[in-house]
Amino acid sequence: MRTAYHQELSRLGAQLGEMCGLAADAMEHATTALLEADLTLAEQVIADHDQLKTLSQRSESSALRLLALQAPVAGDLRKIVGSIHVSADIERMGALAVHVASISRLRHPDCALPDEVRASFAEMGSRAVKLARTAQEVLISNDSGKASRLETEDDAVDAEHRHLFTLLIDRNWQDGVCSAVDVALLGRYYERFADHAVEIGRRVVFEATGGLPTHKQLA
């Protein structure tokens, strides 16, 4: 019985890792779709999200089953409750990739991005995807040292996000209101995506140490 229990607990961890990988893929594809105005890829990101939602429901069911049948305590209990938070974070990351893809689709055949912000989004996309891949690794390895470094890596996404607002507001934006609105919302989606990856790292630290995670300053 305990063996089946530990197998299911270990499966839950692996499933969260797989889901986080799918969210990273989704944002990677959404970023390419955005930069290249690739409609097919944008639509694929949107269609693929159902799989992530299904996996998220499955991992919550698995967590409920473990709680009901095994009455876990201490570290296992923290891990299972943590999985509920992490699963919600990952599903939200996938939804944010869908938002990015939806803006690409809406502006197709045009590119949603004016030339002057393309490099910013390429950079923000690459860093956000890297954060998600690191979150995936720490979900599998439970490496709390690496998990706690996610916050520092997120600083670069926040810096790029602030730079975008400088371009939009402080300088003389020449690309019109529609484009400014797209850029502001897109920047927000990347920033939130990265925040969720950081939140996953914070949960892994919590599971390892038992200390309540401190929340990042409001983003």
Give the closest residue to 14 by CA, choosing from 144, 196, 134, 137: 137
Choose which of 84, 111, 140, 156 interacts with a second copy (CB under 8 A): 84
Task: Determine if the peptide bond prior to 72 is cis (ω within 30°).
Answer: no
CA–CA dist 202, 213 (Å, integer): 6
Choose which of 2, 3, 73, 109 interacts with a second copy (CB under 8 A): 73
> How large is the greatest C-alpha to C-alpha distance in the chain, in angstroms?
66
CB of 69 to a second copy, least distance (A): 9
Residue 14 contacts residue 66 (beta carbons within 8 Å): no
Choose which of 1, 40, 115, 212 interacts with a second copy (CB under 8 A): 212
Q: Does 178 participate in binding a second copy (rule CB under 8 A)?
A: yes
Q: Which is nearer to a second copy, 8 or 137 (CB)?
A: 8
Binding residues for a second copy, how many (CB under 8 A)? 36
Site for a second copy in 97-126 (CB under 8 A): 98-99, 102
- Burial string for 15-37 (b: 16+ CB within 10 Å, else e) reads bbbbbbbbbbbbbbbbbbbbbeb
String of contacts with a second copy for each residue 27-56, x by CB under 8 A? ----------------------x---x---
In which residue are the tokens 């690459």 written? 126
Q: Does 215 participate in binding a second copy (rule CB under 8 A)?
A: yes
Rounded to 5°, the CA angle 56-5-80 comes to: 45
Instruction: Report the interface residues with a second copy, using CB under 8 A.
Output: 49, 53, 57, 60-61, 63-64, 67-68, 71, 73-74, 77-78, 81, 84-85, 88, 95, 98-99, 102, 165, 168-169, 173, 177-178, 180-181, 184-185, 188, 212, 215, 218
